[in-house]
Amino acid sequence: MDYRPYFSVLRKTSLFRAMDDSDLDTLMGCFCPRTRRYARGELLLMAGYETPEVGIVLEGEIVAAKPMPDGTAVVMTHMGPGGVFADVLAGSRNKSPVNVTASQPCLVLYLPSEALLRPCGAMHPAHLQLLHNWLETISSKYFALDLRLELLCCKTLRERICRWLLEQRREAGADTFTTSLSRAELASYLNCDRSALCRELSRMQQEGLVELFHRSFKLPAPERLLCLGRDVRTGEPN
């Protein structure tokens, strides 16, 4: 397969950051990756199983959800093109804590963990850069998980919503932003009932705290949310 049409996507990933076409050509030749297409709802990785590969989303969208003892599942993250999964499992015998499912039809590139961890004899500088990027990626995911735990520890649903809104605002760098999450998926992410989420968002809109446009949100007065989501790592947008 010719991977060049996807180089622009690969450069968006945390693993291949700061690499040019020559670097990517070299690494694809070393890794001998494979690709696979998935239909919506198809399982990519099952919780409780090991995987010898790191996955990168080239097209479409996936969702990672942790199954709970009562049969429900808590959404941990959504990923579109450039999303990387199973990277924290590489090189270990640890089993996946989440189910990874295609939330939209998708194309995934799989890199063998063994090849990632053990550079070939040529010791290409690009491979050393990738290992450096990998360490940064794992560190970033650790802090993202910490933020997720902080959100779930909030005592009220409104606190969780405020924290989530402020974090999305920080990432977007603007008071208006769009999410890929449906209301049902957002409810799962916030660990609440969909109807309870919709009721609370409606109340917040009536109070002028947020404006809702399907999957887009506008925060007319973000400072009013800060008292309820004060510990979120906020930053004033430029």
Residue 14 backbone phi and psi in degrees, to 5: -65, -30
Q: Is 126 left (phi over 0), alpha (psi -120 to 50) or beta?
A: alpha
* Contact predicate 66/97, CB 8 Å: yes
* pLDDT band, residue 235 (cuts 50/70/90): very low
For residue 115, how many C-alpha atoms fall within 13 Å in the half-sphere facing its CB?
Answer: 15
* Tokens representing residue 180 in the block: 């890929």
Domains in the chain, ordered, with CATH? 4-151 (2.60.120.10), 155-226 (1.10.10.10)
Q: What are 117-175's pLDDT values in tens digits?
A: 776 666 688 888 888 888 888 877 777 777 778 887 888 999 999 999 998 998 899 99
* pLDDT of the residue at 211: 95
Q: How far apart are CA 206 and CA 229, in angstroms?
A: 19
* pTM for this predicted structure: 0.74
